């Protein structure tokens, strides 16, 4: 596999603000519908939508996932309730619906409620990644670690594919960018990274409005890339989500 790709977030709030990525003319025969957009990508920028409603406890988190050109690849909407947001905070159970430019559901991310105590090995974080018809794409599972983040990307047969390790020892939401290296299954080679950018440094907005990028090898299969998207959101809720 190729080495990690170095890139900086695109200024997608300018020229490419509302432009969607063109649908690829062809998709692999075994590619689930909607995942063909990921085939030739090695970079994704996750940006939380900033809205005046974000100041209300009932507002849902919404995101746009963009490519290097700032074009929108997917819209993402968290589906949860006010009670869960208030009582459970970032540890709440949620569904995240990922849709394409036609508004059609591509993937559903399902995370059960969990505690954030890393010493409690029976309540580790996980996300199931599934198609709208219920067919599993894969899993993102937290592996027990006393100090640092350790996530394992698994396929639908629960076979390990990729690992994300060596993040920060504790949540840090300001003053610095945070990087989570992405490794091969045996951790012998770093193949990418997930980087959380401190948005308040660049924009005078609430620090809870997320902005992070993920880089990975282009040759990864689309199912693994979609599971990496799920891993990005799980890291966001584990470390940076405030409400």
pLDDT greater at residue 53 or residue 175: 175
Percentage of the residues of the chain whose pLDDT score is greater than 90? 47
Give residue 82's region: left, alpha or beta (phi > 0; psi -120 to 50).
alpha
Are 123 and 189 contacting, i.e. CB atoms less than 8 angstroms apart? no
What DSSP letter does each residue of 154-199 carry, written as one string?
Answer: EETT--EEEEEE---SS---SSS-EEEEEEETTSSSEEEEEEE--H
Model confidence band, residue 236 (pLDDT cutoffs 50, 70, 90):
confident
- Cα 82 to Cα 48: distance, rounded to the nearest angstrom: 19
pLDDT of residue 27: 75
The Cα–Cα gap between 134 and 125 comes to 20
Q: What is the dihedral of CA 220, 14, 242, 224, to 10 degrees?
A: -10
Tens digits of per-residue pLDDT, 83-111? Answer: 655 655 555 667 899 999 999 999 999 97
> Looking at the predicted structure, is the pLDDT value of residue 118 above 80?
no
Tens digits of residue pLDDT in 175-200: 677 889 999 999 999 999 999 887 55
């Amino acid at each position: 596999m190729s080495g990690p790709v170095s890139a900086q977030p695109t200024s997608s709030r300018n020229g490419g603000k509302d432009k969607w990525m063109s649908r690829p003319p062809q998709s692999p025969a075994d590619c689930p519908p909607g995942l063909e957009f990921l085939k030739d990508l090695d970079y994704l920028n996750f940006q939380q939508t900033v809205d005046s409603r974000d100041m209300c406890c009932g507002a849902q988190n919404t995101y746009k996932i963009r490519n290097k050109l700032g074009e929108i690849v997917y819209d993402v909407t968290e589906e949860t309730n006010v009670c869960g947001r208030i009582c459970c905070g970032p540890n709440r159970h949620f569904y995240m619906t990922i849709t394409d430019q036609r508004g059609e559901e591509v993937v559903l991310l399902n995370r059960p409620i969990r505690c954030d105590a890393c010493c409690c090995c029976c309540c580790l974080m996980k996300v199931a990644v599934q198609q709208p018809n219920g067919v599993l794409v894969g899993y993102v599972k937290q592996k027990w670690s006393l100090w640092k983040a350790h996530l394992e990307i698994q396929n639908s047969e629960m076979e390990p594919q990729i690992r994300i390790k060596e993040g920060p020892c504790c949540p840090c939401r300001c003053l610095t960018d945070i990087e989570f290296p992405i490794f091969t299954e045996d951790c012998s080679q770093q193949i990418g990274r997930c980087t959380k950018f401190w948005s308040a440094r660049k924009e005078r907005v609430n620090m809870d409005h997320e902005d992070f990028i993920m880089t990975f090898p282009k040759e990864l299969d689309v199912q693994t890339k979609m599971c990496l998207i799920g891993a990005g959101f799980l890291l966001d809720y584990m470390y940076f989500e405030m409400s």
